[in-house]
Amino acid sequence: MLKNFITCLVFLSTTTLCFGETNILKVYTYDSFISDWGPGPAIEKSFEDRCDCDLQLIGAGDGASLLARLQLEGKNTDADVILGLDTNLLARAKETGLFTKHNKTLDLNLPVNWDDDTFIPFDWGYFAFVYNSEKIKSAPKNFIELAERSELKIVIQDPRSSTPGLGLLMWIKAAYGDDAPRIWAGLAPNILTVTKGWSEAYGLFMDGEADMVLSYTTSPAYHIIAENDLSKKAAIFEEGHYMQIEVAGKVLNTDQSDLADEFLEFMVSDAFQNIIPTTNWMYPVIKLDLHEAFLSPISEEMSLFFDAKVAQKLREPALNEWLEILSK
């Protein structure tokens, strides 16, 4: 026993021989998640306190860019978990063959039934255009009115790199179907710019460069709770609002399978979910008491949503329509 202890001391500089390495879990996510004001820092600390591991949250652009990076790296990826895809990308993500089933029984509080065997939700919300009510006294009540208000300049995100950008494609397609190109043609002159991700777009809005920005119905909650600012509001559209459910999944070739499972279980725990509302400014996926700023203005009848297979089928045609109109 003493001999073994002395041997360990001799090799203290290479403690892996005696005490083992600290397990590292690498989670690819979107940039705003790991920002100083996002949920990343608090989640990292909370998980590391219980896992005796090193949780590395790695920014990979916006939500849709996560899947592109994983596809590029393929089976040689360093990622153990991908956090930040959404339902509009799930079918495409499964087709890569780079994810494995979670084998978990989930007790979730979502507006829709969740029975996916590969991806686990961690938050959800509704897309909306956010505006400053001190500058815009009467907000548009639908997409047609928004298009007709030529004085209003909007910022949106690129659907090829951003999940909100893709969500807007699905939102207009869900509301208008085959008539979606007409809506895009009407909106095109109002679009100030198309950003790669959400953070850039919201920053332009906050800097006063744009009148409205594609974001979420829950975005004003940040300004109310964190800044005591009641001026930022979400324009509620008569057509309804498209729902986003953000998810995470375990990478098939991870060498930290047990730790990845532990993280996914932690993700739907009170500890993780209590962090989400006032850092990611989205709804939690379990029942929690929320600040009144999170009271939803969206009724069940106003909720628009495509399941993963339908979203996958519509994605390319909707993207081609968008590209054709905005390139004119």
CATH superfamily for 125-243+296-326 is Periplasmic binding protein-like II (3.40.190.10)
Q: Do domains 2-124+245-289 and 125-243+296-326 have the same CATH topology?
A: yes
pLDDT of res. 17? 41
Question: Is the predicted pLDDT of residue 6 greater than 60, yes or no?
Answer: no
Q: Which amino acid does the sequence have at 241?
A: H
Secondary structure class of 324 (helix, strand, coil): helix
Tokens, residue 1: 């026993």
CA 54, CA 283: separation in Å to the nearest integer? 27
Q: pTM of this prediction?
A: 0.91
pLDDT of res. 12? 42
Neighbours of 327 (CB within 10 A): 7
Residue-wise pLDDT for 289-299, tens only, equals: 999 999 988 98
- C-alpha separations of 297 from 128, 135, 303 in Å: 11, 21, 10
CA 132, CA 256: separation in Å to the nearest integer? 46
Residue-wise pLDDT for 99-109, tens only, equals: 999 999 999 99
- Helices and strands in the chain, H and E counts: 12, 11
Confidence band for 235, pLDDT divided at 50, 70 and 90:
very high
Tokens, residue 316: 């390319």
**Between 64 and 323, whose confidence is greater?**
323
Residue-wise pLDDT for 149-179, tens only, equals: 999 999 999 999 999 999 999 999 999 999 9
Supply the mean pLDDT for the chain.
Answer: 93
Question: Is the predicted pLDDT of residue 319 greater than 60, yes or no?
Answer: yes
pLDDT of res. 14? 42
CA 217, CA 196: separation in Å to the nearest integer? 21
Q: Provide the percentage of residues in the chain whose pLDDT is more than 70.
A: 94
Residue-wise pLDDT for 9-45, tens only, equals: 444 444 444 456 899 999 999 999 999 999 999 999 9
- Cα 151 versus chain centre, distance: 30
Over residues 214-221, the mean pLDDT reads 97
Q: CB–CB of 167/88 below 8 Å?
A: yes
pLDDT of res. 15? 41
Confidence band for 4, pLDDT divided at 50, 70 and 90:
very low
Over residues 233-261, the mean pLDDT reads 97
Confidence band for 63, pLDDT divided at 50, 70 and 90:
confident
pLDDT of res. 251? 98
**Between 63 and 317, whose confidence is greater?**
317
Picking from 27, 37, 105, the residue whose alpha carbon sits closest to that of residue 69 is: 27
**What CATH number is given for 2-124+245-289 in this structure?**
3.40.190.10
Question: Is the predicted pLDDT of residue 286 greater than 90, yes or no?
Answer: yes
pLDDT of res. 61? 80
Domain range list for the chain: 2-124+245-289, 125-243+296-326
pLDDT of res. 20? 61
Over residues 125-134, the mean pLDDT reads 98
Tokens, residue 176: 């208008």
Tokens, residue 126: 């509704």
Residue with tokens 């499964």: 94
- C-alpha separations of 100 from 25, 70, 78, 105, 249 in Å: 16, 14, 15, 15, 8
CA 61, CA 59: separation in Å to the nearest integer? 6
